Amino acid sequence: MEKNFKDLIQEIRPYIVKGIQDAKVSEYEQSYKKRNGKEPSSEEINQFISILIANGTVKSDADEIVNELISKYSKKLLVKLIINSSISLSSAGLFLVYILIYLKNVFGLNIVKEDYLISPPNFILAIILFFIAIALFVISVSRKDRD
């Protein structure tokens, strides 16, 4: 069963909580050492963690991070979906034109007028798809180089 993006983010939430808690404890230890000149005892650290849990500080920080991740990447996924859908539909339209040309030339079927097949909008669509394909290829290659 395929999980959606929100479910995946919710699965890593405990790790986010643990990371925030560890960071806050480390921050507490440093400030305690500056203030008192010694490391806090394990009892004091446990008391601090209890206060964090009681206040819900770590939970609210984790919820904020999770919500930010969901909103940020959901928008990116939506944009990618729209781009991919428009490219797919444009490509399908262009392929349909080629199929109609083939049917006309090989079988003599005149399903649409000849001026439709080789029309300026179809030619412009082909040029746009060509440049989009090149741009997406360059972007994907440059991303692979960065990784």
DSSP one-letter string for 76-145: HHHHHHHHHHHHHHHHHHHHHHHHHHHIIIII----S-HHHHT-HHHHHHHHHHHHHHHHHHHHHHHHHH
pLDDT tens profile 62-87: 888 888 887 777 777 777 778 778 77
Token reading at 118: 């080789």
pLDDT of 60 above 60: yes
* Mean pLDDT estimate for the chain: 79
Measure the CA–CA gap between 25 and 20, rounded to whole angstroms.
9
pTM over 0.75: no
CA torsion, points 141, 142, 145, 147, in degrees to nearest 10?
A: -100
- Domain residue extents for the chain: 5-146
Helix axes 42-55, 5-36, angle to 10 degrees: 140
